[in-house]
């Protein structure tokens, strides 16, 4: 029988690149860096050279993936929590918000006095009535009728966990699952989008036939739908309790190159 090959799905923040405050506290903080360490980057190259496939599986949009990540030999990129997927350099799946539904969410957000960010494959936008920018954004708008909402597509709405109660009473948000990945922000995505759904699509339609063993490496609640579908769910040492509970193996934390340690442990590199 041909040698079994592996498919490895890998989260980004807190897994491929570091998060926290530099002291080992991985709580409500943003990514410390968008760049993998040299050891982790080399591990991805070695994984590819060994005939295996690595796939990024992230809530991040494509536009915020650092060039150092894009340049690594990943077979595919799952971004926007499954809303935008590329495979071997070609976009194979895109499911973004309906523009009218998105505008209604923004009208209700602004009326509630809250702040949200919009993320699409090509851009990020900050929406705030008061002109403040507690999140981020190259573009900042204060109206649900801003032209960029017609010009660009968006597959993720994110907001501050501290403002979640302001939006729970907004009818436009009721059909959606508000996901708390364990950091400063919550996020919602178009119905049907998830990391797990994108993983299933790749395994069913794109990987091809032949023996394979499927691994997943993640650290937060946003990774659970991915880890439920793989043969070997791997938790980073800095993972949340729900991820640790479902892990077949716990690797080193992100500050100690846990991705590389896991690939070495299973003999993939």
Q: Are 33 and 253 in contact (CB under 8 A)?
A: no
**DSSP-derived 3-state class of residue 81:** helix
Residue 105 shares a structural domain with residue 182: yes
Nearest Cα neighbor of 138 from 119, 155, 157 is 119
Please state the domain count of the chain.
2
Range list of H helices, the chain? 38-49, 67-70, 99-112, 148-151, 164-167, 195-205, 224-227, 241-246, 258-265
Tokens of 52: 């295996």
Nearest 10 degrees: Cα torsion 215, 234, 42, 1: -30
Whether residue 165 sits in one domain with residue 119: yes
CATH code: domain of residue 119:
3.30.1240.10
**What pLDDT does 2 receive?**
39
Strand partners, 86: 77, 91
Mean pLDDT score across all residues of the chain? 88
pLDDT of 129 = 72
Q: What is the pLDDT of residues 153-166, one digit of tens each?
A: 999 998 877 788 88
User: For residues 44 and 73, is the Cβ–Cβ distance under 8 A?
Assistant: yes
Specify the CATH number for the domain of residue 202: 3.40.50.1000
Say yes or no: 173 and 116 in one domain: yes
Per-residue model confidence as pLDDT tens digits over 97-146: 999 999 999 999 889 888 888 999 999 998 887 766 655 656 788 889 99
Q: Of the candidates 133, 158, 188, which is a domain's last residue? A: 188
Say how far apart CA 161 and CA 166 lie, in whole Å.
10
The residue segments making up the domain with residue 221 are 5-95+193-265
Q: Which range, 143-152, 181-190, 201-210, has the best average confidence (pLDDT)?
A: 143-152
pTM (2 d.p.): 0.92
At which of 166, 188, 210 does a domain end? 188
Across the chain, the runs of DSSP E, i.e. the strands, are 5-10, 53-57, 76-79, 84-87, 90-94, 116-119, 124-127, 139-141, 156-160, 185-188, 212-218, 232-235, 249-250
CA 170 – CA 99 distance, rounded (Å): 17
Please give the residue that has the higher pLDDT: either 218 or 135: 218
Q: Looking at residue 3, what is its pLDDT?
A: 60
pLDDT value, residue 1: 30
Residues 86, 104 within the same domain: no
Q: What is the pLDDT of residues 42-93, one digit of tens each?
A: 999 999 999 999 999 999 999 989 999 999 999 999 999 999 999 999 999 9
Question: Are residues 10 and 88 both part of a single domain?
Answer: yes
Q: What are phi and psi of 75, to 5 degrees?
A: -70, -30
160, 188, 216 - which closes a domain: 188
* 133 plus 76 within the same structural domain: no
Q: Which two tokens mark 241?
A: 């309790």
Range from 15-19, 28-32, 137-141, 199-203 carrying the lowest mean pLDDT: 28-32
pLDDT tier at 206, thresholds 50, 70, 90 = confident
């Amino acid at each position: 029988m041909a040698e079994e090959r592996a498919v490895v799905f890998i989260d980004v923040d807190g897994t491929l690149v570091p998060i926290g405050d530099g002291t080992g506290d991985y709580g409500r903080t943003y990514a410390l860096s968008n760049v993998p360490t040299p050891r982790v980057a080399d591990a991805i190259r070695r994984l590819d050279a060994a005939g295996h496939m690595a796939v990024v599986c992230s809530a991040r949009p494509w536009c915020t993936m650092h060039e150092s990540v894009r340049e690594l030999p990943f077979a595919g990129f799952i971004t926007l929590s499954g809303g935008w997927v590329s495979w071997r350099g070609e976009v194979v799946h895109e499911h973004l918000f309906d523009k009218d539904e998105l505008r209604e969410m923004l009208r209700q957000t602004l009326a509630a006095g809250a702040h949200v960010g919009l993320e699409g494959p090509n851009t990020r936008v900050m929406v705030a009535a008061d002109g403040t920018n507690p999140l981020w954004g190259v573009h900042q708008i204060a109206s649900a009728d801003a032209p960029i909402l017609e010009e660009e597509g968006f597959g993720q709405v994110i907001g501050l966990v501290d403002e979640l109660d302001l939006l729970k009473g907004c009818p436009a948000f009721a059909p959606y699952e508000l996901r708390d990945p364990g950091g400063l922000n919550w996020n919602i995505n178009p119905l049907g989008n998830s990391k797990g759904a994108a993983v299933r699509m790749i395994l069913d339609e794109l990987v091809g036939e032949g023996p394979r063993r499927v691994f997943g490496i993640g650290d937060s609640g946003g990774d659970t739908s991915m880890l439920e579908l793989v043969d070997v769910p791997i938790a980073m040492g800095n993972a949340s309790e729900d991820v640790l509970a479902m892990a077949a193996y716990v690797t080193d934390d992100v500050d100690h190159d846990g991705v590389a340690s896991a690939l070495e442990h299973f003999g993939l590199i």
